[in-house]
Structures are given as C-alpha cells and as structure tokens.
Amino acid sequence: MHTRAPASQKQFGSVNQLAQQPENTASLFTDNRQESNESKAMQLMMHGNPHHKEINGLQRKMDSSHLLSLQLRGKNIVQRAPIGAFAAAVPTPHGMFMDTANTVAHNSNVDGNANVAGRRIAVMRGPANGGVPSVDPHGWNWLRAKFLRLKGQWVRFHLINAKLGGSGANPLNLVPTTHALNHDANWRQIEEDAKTSANTKWTYLDVTPTYDPAYPAGIPRSIQGEWGDWDALNSQWITRGVMPATAQDNPVHNMQPYSDASALNLHTLKNLIRANMPNAKNNRKKIAKRRSLAIPASYKVSKGLDLLTNSYQSHYELETAWQAFLNIIKDEKAASVWYKIMNRVYLTEEGPAPWRLVYRK
C-alpha cells in the first residue's frame, strides 16, 4: 500500500491541519493569495462598469461586422424575411444587385410590347449613379402624342432611384408619372433616407407600380414602396420606411393644353394674331368681328409663320431666330402682339432634337 508523502508545511501549513480537512481537488488549485484576491475584486468592478459593458458591446458589433464581411466575400447572405432570399444577388464590397425585376402585361399593346415594368427589388451599398433617363418607358409615346409638351407635366420616373443605382437606360426601370407624383414629399423622404443608408450599409428598395385597365398602356395608376437596411448585429433585414400607394389621375381624361405650332397655316395664324390684339382677349364676339379685319403688313405674318413652324436644335437657336424676326418689325403694336404670342410658345424638348414648337391655348 502506497502512502502519500506529507505536504510541506511551508506550502500548505501543518500536516495536522491538512489531514483534518476533507480532500477537495478544486480547492487545491484555488489561488487565495492577497494579491490574487485584490485582482479578482478589480475584475468584478470592471465587469460592473457601464463603460466596460459599452466596450464589450462595440467589440461584439465589430466581430459581427467582420463575420458579415467574410460572408459577403463568399456567400449569398442577402435575405429579407418578408420575401425570402435575394437569389440573384451575389454581394461584393459595393454595388447594386437586382433581385426582382418583374414585367407585367398591361393592356394589349405597349409600343409593340405588352410587357411593362413590374415590381422591382434591389439591394445596394455605395452604388454607382444609374444616370438620368436616356430611353423612353412604355406609354411615353402615347403621352407625347396627346400632350405635345411633357416637360413640367410628366416625367420618366425611376422605380429604383438613380442615386441608388437604378438605371436610366433601362425602360423597365422607368414609368411615366406626373410631375406632382415625382415630387411627392413622402416619396422624396423615402428615397433620401435610403440614399443616406446606402452610403455605408447594405440597403434594399422595394417598389411596385400598380396598373389599371382604364389607363393607357404602360402608365401606372399608383406606385408604392419601402426601404430598409441590413442589421449586421442581428443578421436580419429591417424595414425602415414604407410608402403607401401614391396615385395619379388617368391622363385619358386630362385636357390637352397645347397645340402644335407646326400645324399652323396663314389662316389659323391670322386668327391667333387677332385674338391677341388689344381688347380682343377672352371675348369671342370681339374676335369674331375682327376675323374679317385685315392685318397690316407690319405684322410680318408670313415671316412669323416660318418662325413658328420651323424646328430647332436648341433654345439658343430659337432665341436667335426670334431676335432676327423682331428686328424686321417696326410697328410697336405688332411687336406687342407678337410678344404675347411668343410668351405662350415652347420647345417640346421631347425625344432627340430638332424639336418643334407648341403653343399654350
């Protein structure tokens, strides 16, 4: 039978004291020295300190961000609970990724194509600017034919905002909307908040246009959307802002406020001049009496007709032609009437130049 050698008194005290104590393996390795106890007390104080807790929280967030960055390099982690995985997105450090870019059928024919822009979902972080609209969305030609001048009335609306990476060269990222809808304060807030987020964080934008059979093909009745960003700490997408459906009126019922100046002839131009002569405005009876009134040669009707029915490459070219026309008019009354007419004339600025003129009725 082997017996254990007595422990050193210097190390553990007397042999008798040790023999009287029950053997506890854990206690044999517990450091009860004074300096050790003071160190333990100091650690407990640190763990209870609010600053220490804040530092630990920041460290955990950094660790989580590091883990996310590793995932971004190798795995498709972009997923949002309400709609499932962003299957098409393969995130890299920065960029924009389309997950959903649906098309829907709206009426029978849209510029030769029955498919128009549907729901679009994109995720982005630090995306490149998608650019201003450089193509026409479906329905734009219908509006151009009806309203002649669209500037200031209708716009080519980015479903995914250009500064969030939405392309202005893709007709399926553009829909025609009224100027008022495009400048809706709630929409502006949604887009500005998403832009701020996308500067530093993975951000998503989810936009859905809704169509109505009564509307011209390709023109939505309303648009709704939402945005959110990636919560790296909890590994989930958080919805930050929701835009309820914002509607626009059916343009079929809107009045045409412009006439095509290129369709004027000497007869119609003379009536337009008479309508702008003194005491003639907004008075049909007076205008009717003046229809047989000869217009003096000083009004230069033929030269004015050439000015109005021509097309122009730029505003500068139109302004130059207008100044040259004024230089040949010596009659102050004639000049006054022509100023009234030209204050209602606009370049269409639709499609590639040269542009024709329209005048407000």
CATH of the domain at 236: 3.40.570
Let me know if residue 147 belongs to a domain. yes
Query: In this structure, are 133 and 197 located in the same domain?
Result: yes
Let me know if residue 6 belongs to a domain. no
Of the residues 195, 219, 253, the one at which a domain ends: 253
Total residue count of the chain as it appears in this document = 361
Let me know if residue 197 belongs to a domain. yes
Query: In this structure, are 302 and 243 located in the same domain?
Result: no
CA–CA gap between residue 110 and residue 174 (Å, rounded): 14
**3-class secondary-structure state, position 122:** strand
Tally of structural domains, the chain:
3
Query: In this structure, are 197 and 111 located in the same domain?
Result: yes
Let me know if residue 10 belongs to a domain. no
Predicted local confidence at residue 84, as pLDDT:
40
Query: In this structure, are 264 and 177 located in the same domain?
Result: no
Q: State the pairing for strand pair 115-125/95-105.
A: antiparallel
Predicted local confidence at residue 81, as pLDDT:
35
Query: In this structure, are 248 and 323 located in the same domain?
Result: no
CA–CA gap between residue 85 and residue 308 (Å, rounded): 57
What residue numbers bound the domain in which 100 lies?
A: 79-253
Query: In this structure, are 128 and 204 located in the same domain?
Result: yes
Query: In this structure, are 330 and 345 located in the same domain?
Result: yes
Predicted local confidence at residue 191, as pLDDT:
94
Of the residues 217, 232, 253, the one at which a domain ends: 253
Helix (H) or strand (E) holding 209: strand 203-210
Query: In this structure, are 221 and 182 located in the same domain?
Result: yes
Let me know if residue 140 belongs to a domain. yes
CA–CA gap between residue 154 and residue 179 (Å, rounded): 5
Q: What value, to the nearest 5°, has the Cα angle with vertex 231 and ends 227 and 235?
A: 120
Of the residues 230, 253, 276, the one at which a domain ends: 253
Nearest to 126 by CA among 85, 189, 72: 72
Query: In this structure, are 164 and 285 located in the same domain?
Result: no
Let me know if residue 24 belongs to a domain. no
Largest pairwise CA distance in the chain: 143
Q: What value, to the nearest 5°, has the Cα angle with vertex 38 and ends 35 and 41?
A: 155
Let me know if residue 21 belongs to a domain. no
Predicted local confidence at residue 247, as pLDDT:
95
Nearest to 270 by CA among 292, 242, 241, 240: 292
Predicted local confidence at residue 319, as pLDDT:
94
Query: In this structure, are 183 and 226 located in the same domain?
Result: yes
Residues of the chain with pLDDT under 70: 1-93, 108-114, 279-292
Query: In this structure, are 83 and 71 located in the same domain?
Result: no
Predicted local confidence at residue 235, as pLDDT:
73
Q: How far is CA 152 from CA 132, 213, 254, in A?
A: 16, 26, 15
Query: In this structure, are 67 and 83 located in the same domain?
Result: no
pTM of the predicted structure, to 2 decimals = 0.68
Let me know if residue 201 belongs to a domain. yes
Predicted local confidence at residue 96, as pLDDT:
78
